[in-house]
């Protein structure tokens, strides 16, 4: 059963008809509803949206750290359809340590964005072709965009010297 | 001791990174006489950058070469990573504006605008028409500024030196306008949450009118200078092509996608800041090569001139800031004479303003493509998370695919046509 907010949304209806239980929540936002997905359903949902929903572009993948709340991370997928000019936002809540499916097989654009999320948040993706740090040096410790990572006073910062 | 070991491991890893792209044949020197059958593959790994003038910043590209042909190119980024997204979380909303300037040094105003629009949407703030039109006018000047720098450096990379001087001469005039408005040539911070930073200066209309006339003449001149140059045409036509579905799949936006025939422009697709009131075209080409990208950007500059002219002709009157005393600092005079303004001033300076909890993804059309700010508020005066979907990052991802099986000399032209800013990539 779809939440009332997205009951009329064609993309949500498409997902619900093929993959019931994939959509777990819906939140209102100024730029349209945000659909919450269950972590194991992302790959089939995005494959469906690309092939039948017309969402041929992935704008970006990013994450938000809600520490100390649980589940800690929220991974955001920003989709865009060139035919209908429609934009969709999906969010997936994952606790620390859970490995998400990589969606590089759906959109190649996800490659660097998932590497960035891995680098700065420490969220892993399975079946990613090259899951390495992208912004920080390869031997860096910690994930800078986590909320428990300090803005100042890291061991390499100048104030400690 | 453990630290030392750590460091050694670090260097070893970097060395092995290079080693895996080393010569993969038995004879690394390549001087052994050829054996029967297949000639040995003579692959060489070449490091382009991080300090290479044609990479326009600090981009490192590891090239695997077979003779002069690039077999594989692997872009390495992160040399300019300054943690801007992390710094946002430590600042109040309005304090984030100077950070947006420093992402992309060629389109500061577009970045200012995108962040402001995102926060304004969370706040539900209405911006007066004068401020909206002013924003449009300045953003279009900023687009011309960015394209002029692109044209100059791109032409310089390919060997046409004089265009560079012309472009920078005109660009200087645009920067003078920015200085006139904001007091700063490049890091303007002029578009703020709730409107503009300052009242537009006296005489701006005349100055911008003169500039636009000059630009309109200049753009045609530079177009002729290059389009009728056989060397330029030979070096740019038919190179840097990728199939269209790959381009969309890999996340390319902006002039590169338009040069492949896709009419995607955020200004038309989901207009903001009264863009819907302006009459302009979205130029496209279908050749999808370096030359087509040149033509698209030249035409975009003409369209921007057209928008600026319309803004000059029909600029509405009215306030330059929204009516929101709890968000915008009061007028200096009022602050010193009225109790209420003084209280607001004190509260804004000491506490900032709270933004209702929620999240928004706002897009604008930057000179490089789709620029998006994803702002998450948890109801406090500091953003919980700010993510920048920068066009350069999305476009640069295609570099590996685009440089496959091209000559090294062409790689410089292709990189120039992508028009990335490394600050925009690494953030």
Asked if B91 and B186 sit in the same domain, the reply is yes
Asked if B160 and B277 sit in the same domain, the reply is yes
How confident is the model at residue B287, as a pLDDT? Answer: 87
Q: Which of A47, A108, A120 is most worth mutating to test chain B (most B CB atoms within 10 A of its CB)?
A: A108
> Would the ipTM clear 0.95, i.e. be above it?
no
| B89 reaches A (C-beta below 8 A) | yes
Checking DSSP bridges between strand A125-126 and strand A100-101, what pairing results, if any? parallel
Asked if B263 and B351 sit in the same domain, the reply is yes
How confident is the model at residue A155, as a pLDDT? Answer: 62
Mean pLDDT confidence for B401-406: 89
Asked if B111 and B9 sit in the same domain, the reply is no
Q: Which of A114, A139, A149, A152 is most worth mutating to test chain B (most B CB atoms within 10 A of its CB)?
A: A139
- Give the sign of the dihedral formed by CA B186, CA B190, CA B192, CA B195: negative
How confident is the model at residue B54, as a pLDDT? Answer: 66
How confident is the model at residue A77, as a pLDDT? Answer: 93
Q: Which residue has the higher pLDDT, A80 or B57?
A: A80
Of A64, A139, A149, the CB nearest to B10: A139
The Cβ of residue B271 has, within 10 Å, a number of other Cβ atoms equal to 13
| DSSP assignment letter at B329 | P
Asked if B71 and B114 sit in the same domain, the reply is no
Residue B362 CA to residue B268 CA, distance in Å, equals 14
Confidence of residue B270 (pLDDT cuts 50, 70, 90): confident
Which CATH number covers residue B191?
Answer: 1.10.645.10
B30 domain-assigned: no
Number of domains within chain B: 2
Asked if B177 and B59 sit in the same domain, the reply is no
Confidence of residue B69 (pLDDT cuts 50, 70, 90): confident
The alpha carbon of residue B411 is apart from the nearest alpha carbon of chain A, in Å, by 21
The region of weakest confidence among A125-129, B13-17, B98-102, B251-255 is B13-17
pLDDT > 60? residue A66? yes
Of B9, B85, B372, the CB nearest to A60: B372
pLDDT > 80? residue B34? no
Chain A residues whose beta carbon lies within 8 Å of the beta carbon of residue B264: 82
Confidence of residue B228 (pLDDT cuts 50, 70, 90): confident
B123-147 tens-digit pLDDT: 999 999 999 999 999 999 999 999 9
Q: What does the mean pLDDT of chain B come to? A: 85
The alpha carbon of residue B214 is apart from the nearest alpha carbon of chain A, in Å, by 36
- Give the sign of the dihedral formed by CA A51, CA B240, CA B408, CA B160: negative
Per the CB < 8 Å rule, is A151 touching B426? no
Whether the CB-CB separation of B229 and B160 falls below 8 Å is answered with yes
Beta bridge partners of A61: A77
Which range of residues forms the domain containing residue B44?
2-25+38-76
Give, to the nearest 10 degrees, the angle between helix B204-227 and helix B129-158: 30
Which range of residues forms the domain containing residue A64?
4-160
Mean pLDDT confidence for A120-143: 89
Whether the CB-CB separation of A136 and A145 falls below 8 Å is answered with no
Asked if B7 and B116 sit in the same domain, the reply is no
How confident is the model at residue A89, as a pLDDT? Answer: 92
How confident is the model at residue B133, as a pLDDT? Answer: 93
| A25 reaches B (C-beta below 8 A) | no
| B270 reaches A (C-beta below 8 A) | yes
Burial label for B202, CB within 10 Å (0-12, 13-18, 19+), is exposed
The Cβ of residue B70 has, within 10 Å, a number of other Cβ atoms equal to 24
Residue B120 CA to residue A98 CA, distance in Å, equals 35
Structure tokens that stand for B106 in this block: 């060629």
Short-list B144, B142, B164, B168, CA closest to B154: B164
Asked if B152 and B291 sit in the same domain, the reply is yes
Q: Where are the beta strands (DSSP E) in B35-159?
A: 43-48, 60-66, 69-76
The alpha carbon of residue B9 is apart from the nearest alpha carbon of chain A, in Å, by 8
pLDDT > 70? residue B391? yes
Of B121, B248, B376, the CB nearest to A57: B248
The alpha carbon of residue B113 is apart from the nearest alpha carbon of chain A, in Å, by 16
Residue B297 CA to residue B303 CA, distance in Å, equals 10
Asked if B173 and B315 sit in the same domain, the reply is yes
| Cis upstream peptide for B173 (omega within 30°) | no
> Helix, strand or coil for residue A15?
helix
Number of domains within chain A: 1
Residue B241 CA to residue B287 CA, distance in Å, equals 8
How confident is the model at residue B36, as a pLDDT? Answer: 55
Mean pLDDT confidence for B99-124: 91
Structure tokens that stand for B253 in this block: 């936006």
Asked if B55 and B177 sit in the same domain, the reply is no
The region of weakest confidence among B35-39, B226-230, B378-382 is B35-39
Of A89, A111, A134, the CB nearest to B78: A134
Confidence of residue A90 (pLDDT cuts 50, 70, 90): very high
Whole-prediction pTM value? 0.87
B132 domain-assigned: yes
Q: Which residue has the higher pLDDT, B377 or B44?
A: B377
Asked if B292 and B335 sit in the same domain, the reply is yes
pLDDT > 80? residue B25? no
B42-66 tens-digit pLDDT: 788 888 878 776 667 788 888 888 8
Residue B151 CA to residue B415 CA, distance in Å, equals 13
Asked if B219 and B322 sit in the same domain, the reply is yes
B33 domain-assigned: no
How confident is the model at residue B412, as a pLDDT? Answer: 87
B31 domain-assigned: no
B301-328 tens-digit pLDDT: 999 999 999 999 999 998 989 888 888 8
Per the CB < 8 Å rule, is B14 touching A138? yes
The alpha carbon of residue B157 is apart from the nearest alpha carbon of chain A, in Å, by 27
| A68 reaches B (C-beta below 8 A) | no
**H, E, C per residue of B115-140:** HHHHHHHHHCCCCCHHHHHHHHHHHH
Task: Classify B273 in phi/psi space as left (phi over 0), alpha (psi -120 to 50) or beta.
Answer: left
Cβ-based neighbours of B186, under 8 Å, separated by 6 or more: B101, B105, B108, B175, B178
B146-167 tens-digit pLDDT: 999 999 999 888 888 888 899 9
Confidence of residue B11 (pLDDT cuts 50, 70, 90): very low
Which CATH number covers residue A75?
Answer: 3.30.460.80
pLDDT > 60? residue B22? no
| B140 reaches A (C-beta below 8 A) | no
pLDDT > 50? residue A74? yes
């Amino acid at each position: 059963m779809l939440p009332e907010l997205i009951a009329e949304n064609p993309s949500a209806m498409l997902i619900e008809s093929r993959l019931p239980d994939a959509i777990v929540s819906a939140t209102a936002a100024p730029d349209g509803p945000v659909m919450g997905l269950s972590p194991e359903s992302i790959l089939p949902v995005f494959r469906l949206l690309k092939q039948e929903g017309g969402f041929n572009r992935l704008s970006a993948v990013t994450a938000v750290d809600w520490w100390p709340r649980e589940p800690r991370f929220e991974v955001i997928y920003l989709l865009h359809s060139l035919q209908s000019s429609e934009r969709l936002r999906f969010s997936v809540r994952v606790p620390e340590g859970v490995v998400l499916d990589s969606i590089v097989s759906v959109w190649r654009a996800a490659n660097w964005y998932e590497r960035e999320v891995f680098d700065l948040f420490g969220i892993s993706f399975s079946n990613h072709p090259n899951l390495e740090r992208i912004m920080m040096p390869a031997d860096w410790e910690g994930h800078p965009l986590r909320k428990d990572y300090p803005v100042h006073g890291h061991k390499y910062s100048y104030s400690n010297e | 001791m453990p630290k030392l070991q750590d460091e050694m491991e670090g260097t070893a890893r970097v060395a092995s990174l290079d080693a895996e792209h080393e010569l993969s044949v038995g004879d690394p020197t390549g001087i052994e006489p050829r054996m029967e059958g297949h000639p040995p593959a003579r692959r060489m790994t070449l490091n382009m950058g991080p300090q290479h003038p044609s990479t326009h910043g600090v981009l490192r590209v590891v090239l695997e070469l077979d003779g002069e042909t690039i077999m594989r190119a692997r872009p390495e980024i992160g040399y300019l990573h300054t943690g801007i997204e992390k710094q946002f979380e430590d600042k109040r909303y309005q304090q984030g504006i100077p950070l947006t300037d420093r992402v992309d040094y060629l389109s500061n105003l577009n970045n200012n605008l995108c962040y402001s629009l995102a926060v304004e949407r969370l706040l539900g703030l209405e911006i007066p028409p004068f401020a909206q039109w002013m924003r449009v006018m300045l953003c279009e000047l900023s687009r011309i500024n960015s394209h002029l720098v692109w044209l100059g450096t791109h032409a310089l990379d390919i060997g046409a030196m004089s265009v560079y001087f012309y472009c920078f001469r005109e660009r200087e005039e645009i920067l003078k306008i920015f200085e006139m408005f904001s007091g700063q040539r490049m890091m303007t911070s002029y578009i703020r949450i709730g409107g503009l930073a300052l009242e537009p200066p006296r005489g701006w209309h005349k100055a911008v009118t003169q500039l636009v006339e000059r630009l309109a003449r200049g753009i045609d001149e530079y177009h002729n200078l290059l389009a009728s140059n056989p060397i330029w045409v030979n070096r740019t036509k038919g190179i840097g092509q990728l199939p269209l579905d790959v381009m969309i799949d890999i996340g390319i936006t902006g002039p590169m996608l338009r040069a492949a025939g896709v009419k995607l422009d955020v200004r038309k697709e989901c207009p903001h800041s009264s863009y819907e009131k302006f009459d302009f075209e979205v130029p496209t080409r279908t050749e999808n090569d370096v030359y087509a990208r040149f033509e698209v950007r030249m035409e975009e500059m003409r369209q921007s001139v057209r928008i600026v002219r319309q803004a000059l002709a029909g600029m509405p009157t009215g306030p330059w800031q929204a009516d929101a005393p709890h968000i915008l600092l009061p007028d200096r005079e009022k602050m010193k004479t009225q109790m209420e303004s003084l209280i607001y001033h004190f509260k804004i300076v000491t506490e900032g303003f709270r933004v209702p909890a929620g999240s928004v993804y706002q897009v604008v059309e930057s000179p490089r493509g789709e620029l998006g700010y994803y702002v998450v508020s948890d109801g406090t005066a500091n953003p919980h998370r700010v993510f920048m979907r920068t066009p350069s990052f999305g476009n640069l991802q295609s570099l590996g695919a685009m440089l496959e099986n091209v000559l090294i000399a062409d790689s410089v032209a292709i990189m120039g046509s992508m028009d990335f800013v490394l600050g925009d990539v690494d953030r």
